A and B are shown apart, each in its own frame.
Chain A
Amino acid sequence: MALLNIRNLTVKFATATGSFTAVDGIDVHVDRGEVLAIVGESGSGKSVSMLAVMGLLPDTATITADEMTYDGRDISKLSKAERRRLIGREITMIFQEPIASLNPSFTVGFQIEEVLRLNLGLGRKEAHARALELFRAVGIPEPEVKIRAYPHQLSGGQCQRVMIAIAIASNPRLLIADEPTTALDVTIQKQILDLLMKLQEDYGMALILITHDMGVVAETADRVVVQYKGKKMEEAEVLNLFEAPQHPYTRALLSALPEHATGDRLPTVSDFFQQAGA
C-alpha cells in the first residue's frame, strides 16, 4: 500500500496578472521504503507539489486534489495540531541551501536539541545525548566539538549533514529531500547521497528526492517521475527510464547530458519537440 498517495493535485498561485497554474493534475505515490525521484527543470513544479504536501506554501496558493493521503489518512482534512504532529515527525524535509536552512544565531546543537525536546519530549540531557548520537550517525567528525559550532563555522556539506540529522531525529517514515546536493561540490554530493541511501536502507524510510540532475537520479532512485511545466511527462522504474525512455521530453533530457554527446552538437529539448511534432 502506498505510504503517500496524491491524485490529481493542482496548485494555482494568485498573481497580479491573474492565476498561474504551477502544478497541473499531478499523481504521485510513494511506497514504504521506496526511493522516488521527481525530476524536472526550473518551473516544472517539482518542488511546489511537495511543499503543498508539507503545508509550506504561502496563502496565495490554492491547492486542490482528488486525494491526498498519508498512511490512509487525509492530509487536507487534518486539524492544525494533527498536521503538526505529522509534519516534522513522520514526514520531514531537507532543502537545497543547507547553510540558509539553519538559523545563523544559534549553535547547530541548540537547533537539533530544540527539535528533540519539542517534537519528542526529551529532557535537556537526553536531547544532548541523542543529538551526539545522530551527529555520529550522519558522519559529522568530532561531534562533541561541532555540536557547539554555529552554522557559519561549518562547511556546506557539514551543514547538510546537520539538516539530515535534524530530519531523521524523529525516525520519520518519509523524508523529502529538495535538491539536497545542488549547492555542493561533486565529491561532497557523492558523500551526502551515499549517506541518504544508507539511512534510507537502515531506517527503512521512504525517500522522495527532488532533483534536476539525471546523474543523481541514476545513482539513487527506484522509480522516477519526470515533470515539465507542471505536468507529469513520464513515470517509470529507473532502469526502464534510462534504457527506454518513452516520452520525447525524457529522451531530450537524457541526450542533453554532455556525457551522452555523440557528435559535435548537443541535442536540445526543442529539437525533440520538433521531431515529435509537439
Chain B
Amino acid sequence: MMGQDIPVVEGRAIVRDYHVPGSIFARGRDVRALKGIDFRVDKGKTLAIVGESGSGKSTLARIIALIDAPTGGELRIAGEAVDIHRRRPGPALRSKVQMVFQNPYGSLNPRQKVGDVLMEPLVINTSIPATERRDRAEAMLKKVGLQPEHFNRYPHMFSGGQRQRIAIARALMLNPSLLVLDEPVSALDLSVQAQVLNLLADLQDEFELTYVFVSHDLSVVRYIADDVMVISKGEAVEQGSREALFANPQHPYTQSLFAATPVTDVEAIRTRVARRKAARAAVAG
C-alpha cells in the first residue's frame, strides 16, 4: 500500500558535473561528482546516505534540498518534476524541502537574534502577520527543547547542541514534508549527539517528516535510518533496507567501511588486550 503512494522525493539518474577551470599549465576539465544516482524516499521514512569525504554525498544532499541543480537526470518532489535551473523554486516548493547543515557554528548568522533566525523563512515565503510569526517561533523553540525566553538571544550564547536545535527549528518553521540533514550530529559531543538524535526521532513521529540523512558514521545510520545508500566516488555502490545492509553488506566498499568502524564490543576488547599481553610477554621472554 505504502509502495503505491507517491514518494516524497525521488531521483532518477541524477548526474552532477563540476567544471575545474584551466590555467596556463593545464586545460580545464569536467569532474563528474555524481554518476547517475537513483533513489526514492516514502513519507515518514529516513534514507541515510553514507560515504567518505569526496564521495559526492553532500553534493547529492544539496541537489535534493534544491540548492544546486543537477547536470542531468530528474528530481521529483511529491511526484512533480523539479528543475531549479529552469525555474527558481517558489515559496510553495521551498516550504516542502528544508535543510539542516553540519556545522551549527557556521550556519547561523552571528548578528541575527534566534527569534529572527526562526521568523525569516516566514517573512520570505509567507504573508503571516508579525504577531503570529512570533507566536509560531516561540512555539517552535519549545518543540525543539529550548525556552521562549531564548527568542532574543544571539547564537554565540548557545552551546553546539542548542545551536543545532535552533537550526532544526528554523528548518521546521515552514512545515516542510522533507528535511535534508547533512551530517547534523557529527560536530557534536557524544552525549549531545544522543539528545539531538532523540529530538529528530520525536519530531519525525510528530510531524510525519521524511528525512534524507547524510552521514559518515555507520553507528548513527544504524540508529536512525530505514533505508541506506552507500555512495563512493559518485556512484551508489549499495542500496537497501537498514536490516539487510547491516546484516549482510554486499559491496566490497561497504564491507571495508564496516571493517574500519571501531568495535566497542567487550569480547573484541578482551581479544585485543590478550593479544597485546602475549606480544609483550614474547618480547620480554
Contact = CB atoms under 8 A, between A and B. Distances in A.
Interface in A141-158: 156
B266 A222 contact: no
B127 interface: no
Contacts of A185: 52-53, 216
A111 interface: no
B273 interface: yes
Interface string B193-236: 11101100100000000000000111110111000000000000
Contact of B194 (A190, A264, A266): A266
A41 B263 contact: no
B259 interface: yes
B190 interface: yes
Contacts of A266: 194, 197-198, 223
B263 A218 contact: yes
Nearest to B197: A266
A254 B265 CA distance: 11
B191 A253 contact: yes
Interface in A188-219: 188-190, 201, 212-216, 218-219
Chain B interface, >50% SS class: helix
Contacts of B279: 201
20 contacts: A42-B160, A188-B52, A189-B260, A190-B259, A212-B190, A215-B262, A218-B269, A219-B262, A219-B272, A237-B273, A238-B269, A252-B191, A253-B191, A254-B264, A256-B191, A257-B264, A258-B193, A259-B219, A266-B194, A266-B198
Nearest to A186: B260
B223 A187 contact: no
A156 B52 CA distance: 12
Given A212-B190, A268-B191, A219 B257 contact: no
Contact of A187 (B219, B220, B257, B270): B257
B175 to A, nearest CB: 24
Nearest to B186: A182
Contact of A215 (B160, B201, B264): B264
Contacts of B197: 258, 266
A239 interface: yes
Contacts of B201: 264-265
A266 B196 CA distance: 10
Contacts of B52: 185-188
B276 interface: yes
Contacts of A270: 191
A213 B216 CA distance: 14
B223 A261 contact: yes
A110 interface: no
A214 B216 CA distance: 16
Contacts of B259: 190
A41 B190 CA distance: 7
Nearest to B218: A186
Given A218-B269, A257-B190, A258-B223, 4 more contacts: A190-B259, A222-B276, A237-B273, A254-B264
Contacts of A242: 264, 266, 269
Contacts of A42: 160, 189
B273 A238 contact: yes
Contacts of A88: none
A219 B257 CA distance: 16
B195 A268 contact: yes
Nearest to B224: A258
B247 interface: no
B267 to A, nearest CB: 10
B262 A213 contact: yes
Interface string A242-278: 1100000000111011111100111111100000000
B191 A186 contact: no
B216 A186 contact: yes
B261 interface: yes
A212 B175 CA distance: 35
Contacts of A258: 193-194, 197, 217, 219-220, 222-224
Specify which of B222, B269, B280 lies most central, judged by the most chain A CB atoms within 10 Å of its CB: B269
Interface in B246-264: 256-257, 259-264
Interface string A31-50: 00100000001100000000
